[in-house]
Amino acid sequence: MALLLIGAHFSIAGGLHKALLTAQRYRCTAVQIFTKNATTWKERIITQEESDLFRKVRGQTGVKAVASHASYLINLASPEERKHDMSKQAFACELKRSAMLDIPYVVLHPGSHMGTGEETGLARIAEAINQVFDHVSPSGTRLLLETTAGQGSNMGYTFEQLDFLIKTVRDKDRVGVCLDTCHVFAAGYDIRMPKTYKKTMEAFDKVIGLSNLYLIHVNDSRNELGSRKDRHEHIGKGFIGPDAFAEIMNDTRLEDIPKILETPKGDGKTDYDAINLKALRDFISPGSHKR
């Protein structure tokens, strides 16, 4: 029986290791964190003490899978030279920080072309990734390009675009994909019914390959199929609905892939993380996984 790898994005307020402790409180075996404030360019230096503590607590909590989500400011497709350089710099720092913490996955939104067109934008992203990989020595940390909703000029909303990036990145051992259920749905891939779920996963496998899938963000969507809007909703309460999540939680092909919630946290009065984690666990057919 496979160990169920399930968790949520948790806060690092009070120290990076705090996210692990929160995960443990929720009986999570997976967690996603920001290794710095994700909404500023300011970098964060990880001390040896912090990294030692993170590793120690990780061992104690039994959290098996850890992912870091890169800053939202990073745009590897930016046509502005300065912004492009800052983005490459920040991405390199994220890879180094995650390596120091033994975090195997860094999730990144591929980027926005800002009017220069998708072809130009995608080529610029791939080139930037190759440059950063040339400058940051390989570690156990893999870049995961996230499927996006295709809001504005965001790229990565078709499986073909992600496949292009994977193919164009020279070091294949350092790249993969994170599938976000809300984003693919908003981008126009239906997963609401067993039949449409199957079709979308088949398309993913055919174009990108399931062997390139390392992480799943499990989120319902506040907007309709093909809306191209990135707004997450509680599991089963949005336009995707419960059936898709039942499919995902029982899909044996995805058994070993960590599943992370990025659902709204609310105002703190209701423990939505507990509710959404329970919703996911309740979908699992008895006997198919450890709980």
Which residue in this structure is represented by tokens 């329970």?
A: 278
Q: Cβ of residue 233: shortest distance to Zn ion, in angstroms?
A: 13
Residue nearest to Zn ion (CB): 217
Among positions 36-75, residues that touch Zn ion (CB under 5 A) are: none
136 CB-side CA count, 13 A: 26
Asked whether position 88 contacts Zn ion by CB under 5 A, the answer is no
Helices marked H in the chain: 17-25, 48-61, 81-100, 118-135, 159-168, 181-186, 194-207, 242-250, 272-283
Query: Number of residues in contact with Zn ion, rule: CB under 5 A?
Result: 3
What gap in Å lies between CA 140 and CA 243, rounded to an integer?
35
Nearest distance in Å: CB 109, Zn ion? 8
Rounded to the nearest 10 degrees, the angle between the axes of helix 242-250 and helix 194-207 is: 50
Between 78 and 148, name the residue whose CB sits nearer to Zn ion.
Answer: 148
Smallest gap from Cβ 29 to Zn ion, in A, equals 19
29 vs 32, beta carbon nearer Zn ion: 32
Shortest Å distance, C-beta 288 to Zn ion: 25
CA distance 126 to 68: 20
Distance from CA of residue 284 to its chain's centroid? Answer: 22
Interacting residues with Zn ion between 166 and 185 (CB under 5 A): 180
Q: SS3 for 30? A: strand
Q: Looking at beta carbons only, is 12 or 261 nearer to Zn ion?
A: 261
User: Which residue number, 180 or 273, has a Cβ lying nearer to Zn ion?
Assistant: 180
Q: What DSSP string describes 193-239?
A: SHHHHHHHHHHHHHHT-GGGEEEEEE-EESS-TT-----EE-TTSSS
- Tokens 């390596």 appear where? 99
User: Segment 208-247, which members bind Zn ion (CB under 5 A)?
Assistant: 217
Neighbours of 234 (CB within 10 A): 18
Quick one: 94 or 180, whose CB is closer to Zn ion?
180
Question: Smaller CB distance to Zn ion: residue 180 or 233?
Answer: 180
Minimum CB–partner distance for residue 170 and Zn ion (Å)? 26
- The window from 186-194, 233-241, 257-265, 269-277 that contacts Zn ion (CB under 5 A) reads 257-265
Q: How far is the CB of 104 from Zn ion (least distance, A)?
A: 17
Looking at the Cβ atoms of 78 and 221, the one nearer to Zn ion is 221
At closest approach, how far in Å is the CB of 146 from Zn ion? 6
Q: Which residues bind to Zn ion, rule: CB under 5 A?
A: 180, 217, 262
